[in-house]
Amino acid sequence: MQWIKLLIYLISSLILKTNAQFERDPNGYIAYCPCMGRFGNQADHFLGSLAFARALNRTLILPPWVEYRKGELRSRQVPFDTYFEVEPLQEFHRVILMSDFMSHLADEVWPASERVSFCYMERKSLQQEKNDPNAPNCHAKDGNPFGPFWDTYNIDFVASEFYGPLHFDVHHSAIATKWQQSYTADKWPVLAFTGAPASFPVQLENRVLQKYLKWSPRYREAAREFIRNVLPRGAFVGLHLRNGIDWVRACEHIKDSQQLFASPQCLGYKNERGELYTELCMPTKEAIVRQLKRIIKNVRQSQPKNEVKSVFVASDANHMISELSNALSRMDISVHKLPEDDPYLDLAILGQSNHFIGNCISSYSAFVKRERDTHGFPSYFWSFPKEKERQQSKPHEEL
Ligand code: GFB
């Protein structure tokens, strides 16, 4: 008899818990499309959106990650929790997976007839005939990934709302209160943004939120297995080599910019640690080998009991495996990469390396750097500080 009571108790508490999980938040919700850039950009935007949702005291609807595959015309939407756990985020603020929101709450909270898209000001459609001067619109589903993103959850919008001049910098103004006054939760239960309510690159104040982004068990385990089964025992250095053709083109903007993409992570948000220079974006092969060797030698001196035994290379294009293997062969250090391209597993492994050298301009590298900062793991950037300055400040480090 006793066990039946226990079973009933367990089942009912489970049902109660499940229902409570999907109880309506009277303070409202924030939804957005991570419609700009690939993973690194989306991750920067995610941290800002999380801070924004908390400042407005609305639940953040966790969007899927938007991915682009070669030869496919429509973006793919990958559930948020494929890569990251939901629970640790709850420690910071209320969040819900977009699929859970749409299947358990949307009918009640956000019926199809009341779905309004939010944009700063009118967004013109690429199809001229859709642009009506008397009826400005966000055209939230116009183009890729905009359409495919909202289509994933069968969301159509019946109207547009222009929120300008409101903005997202909740750290330096009373803007959160203004949002709350302009858009009360009873009249506007869901603020659905055409793009992330956040800046790129991530605001300095929001970098620390990275600590709530924990890899899903699948990626944590895959990274651990690779490190344990493929790499030799001992310390390893993780490298990010960003050198594909898109990057070569992007680096051309160095000439006429103060900052580019994630560059504030090394130069400082106000360029307090220097100006942009080409090698920061595209280090030469010689500089890469030199810097890697220098770091390995420094580790050998400072941590003789935890010598570097291998190097793990992540790259979007050229992993430089033979160049690096040749350069390190006399030191008895092996060089590795994943057998198949997997940007997420690359990131998870880089996060665990004993030492990391990344590209200061790349937001993909920035993700690794932030994650490592939360654990106190050391990171460096290619060709930073500028070689000349480094020689002057630390001549003993040179080979
Ligand atoms: O992440 P992401 O915005 O970083 O875009 P950046 C780069 C994408 O390239 C990643 C792939 O999301 C990956 O799909 N990728 C880059 C990699 N590095 C690696 C790697 O080490 N391993 C694997 N497997 N894949 C900038 C953007 O990219 O690139 C800008 O911020 C612009 O929006 C510019 O598009 C050209 O910041 O590096």
> What DSSP assignment string belongs to 203-268?
PGGGGGGGGG--B-HHHHHHHHHHHHHTSPSSEEEEEEE--SHHHHHHHGGGGG-S--TTTHHHH-
Predicted local distance difference test score (pLDDT) of residue 390: 54
Closest CA to 333 of 182, 232, 216: 232
Query: pLDDT digits over 89-146, tens only?
Result: 999 999 999 999 999 999 999 999 999 999 999 999 988 889 998 899 999 999 999 9
Q: Is the pLDDT of residue 195 over 90?
A: yes
- At 117, list the tokens: 């898209």
Task: Please tell me the distance from the alpha carbon of residue 263 to that of residue 229, in angstroms, as a whole number.
Answer: 35
Pocket test for ligand 1, best of 38, 78, 312 (most atoms within 8 A of CB): 38
Query: pLDDT digits over 10-37, tens only?
Result: 555 554 455 567 999 999 999 999 999 9
Residue 363 Cα to ligand 1 middle (Å): 7
CB-based contacts of 360, cutoff 8 Å, min separation 6: 262, 263, 265, 266, 267, 280, 281, 381, 382, 384
Query: pLDDT digits over 245-301, tens only?
Result: 999 999 999 998 999 999 999 999 999 999 999 999 999 999 999 999 999 999 999
Q: 217 to each of 84, 344, 381, how far by Cα in Å?
A: 8, 13, 29
* DSSP-assigned beta bridge partners for residue 96: 61
Percentage of the chain modeled with pLDDT above 70: 92
Sheet-wide strand order for 235-241: 334-336, 308-315, 235-241, 355-358, 379-381
Residue 326 Cα to ligand 1 middle (Å): 27
Predicted local distance difference test score (pLDDT) of residue 204: 98
Predicted local distance difference test score (pLDDT) of residue 172: 95
Q: 220 to each of 23, 216, 310, how far by Cα in Å?
A: 31, 6, 20
Q: Is the pLDDT of residue 392 over 90?
A: no
| Diameter of the chain measured on Cα atoms | 81
Q: Whose CA is nearest to atom 8 of ligand 1?
A: 38
Task: Please tell me the distance from the alpha carbon of residue 395 to that of residue 392, in angstroms, as a whole number.
Answer: 6
- Residue 265 exposure: Cα atoms within 13 Å on the Cβ side: 32
Ligand 1 and 59: CB distance under 6 A: no
CB-based contacts of 311, cutoff 8 Å, min separation 6: 236, 237, 238, 239, 292, 324, 328, 333, 334, 335, 336
Query: pLDDT digits over 335-374, tens only?
Result: 999 999 999 999 999 999 999 999 999 999 999 999 999 9
Strands 76-78 and 65-67: antiparallel
pLDDT confidence tier of residue 399, bands split at 50, 70 and 90: very low
- Counting atoms of ligand 1 from 1, which one is nearest the CA of 350? 21
pTM for this predicted structure: 0.93
Q: Is the pLDDT of residue 205 over 50?
A: yes
Ligand 1 and 243: CB distance under 6 A: no
- Asked if 363 and 43 touch (Cβ cutoff 8 Å), the reply is yes
Ligand 1 and 364: CB distance under 6 A: yes
Pocket test for ligand 1, best of 44, 313, 316, 344 (most atoms within 8 A of CB): 316
- Counting atoms of ligand 1 from 1, which one is nearest the CA of 246? 36
Task: Please tell me the distance from the alpha carbon of residue 49 to that of residue 212, in angstroms, as a whole number.
Answer: 13
Q: What is the arithmetic mean of pLDDT over 49-78?
A: 98
